[in-house]
Amino acid sequence: MKSPLRQIRLKGGFTTKILFECEEFLIAEKPEGLPVHETKDPNRKDFTRLLASYLHLQDLRTVNRLDLGTSGIVLLGKTQTKNKEIDSLLKEAEKEYIFLCNGIPDWKEKRFECFIRDGNKEVQIVRSGGKKAITEFRILSHFPEEGLTFGMAKILTGRRHQIRVMLKELGFPILGDPVYSDSQSGKKETRMYLHSFRLCFTDLQGKKQWVETEIPLEFSNRVGKTLSL
């Protein structure tokens, strides 16, 4: 993995890192709490427009979409002529997230398959009528004193809220999740602890590439220990 190409400060005090950049696309790190793209409110700041303005890239397009409370890797296309190729690149890429969740699972690894049906503010796991979703979970550390677990999720499909609803179904909702968490910790969280951490892909020239971020400082601060993979 290459070192971040640059760290920049966007309007509104948001900071991002450009993790990878080529002629056709770039990969940047979205802050938590900032919409990844335009919302119904045209005056609300969003990551893609702030970045497009800073970089003077009028055609910058969000390829993968992170939830408001999720931080981490976002792939953005720079040219409309390569939309199909960049979409295929993302579809074939390996995508890994890290998380803190409530509870202590009695397993180290678990592959979870289900069908997910989209709703308005949340999604539901259903027996039929939904779309197939697959995630491979791996536990990295336990924090019994906090009742929390640090883990990684590799998504093999890209469904909305996929990791969040699956962890809730397993009984270990993501810490700080405003929709799927049952707030077992008993304290108000400052963020949702889900972060798009690593992306492995083949670029448009056929070369294998991978980028990853640092573990957000908030994760280590929340458990009072430095986290590592």
List the domains of the chain with CATH numbers: 1-92 (3.30.2350.10), 94-223 (3.30.2350.10)
Read off the pTM. 0.93
Residue 3 has pLDDT above 60, yes or no: no
Residue 213 has pLDDT above 60, yes or no: yes
Which alpha helices (DSSP H) does 130-212 contain, by range?
162-170
The whole-number average pLDDT for the span 42-60 is: 92
40 burial level (CB within 10 Å; 0-12, 13-18, 19+): exposed
pLDDT digits (tens, 9 = 90+) for 138-176: 999 999 999 999 999 999 998 999 999 999 999 999 999
For the chain, what percent of residues have pLDDT higher than 90?
Answer: 82
Residue-wise over 81-115: b if at least 16 C-beta within 10 A, else e? ebeeebeebbeebebbbbbbbbbebeeeeeebebe
Residue 184 has pLDDT above 70, yes or no: no
Q: How far are the Cα atoms of 8, 38, 115 from residue 53, in angstroms, in the given order?
A: 12, 13, 39
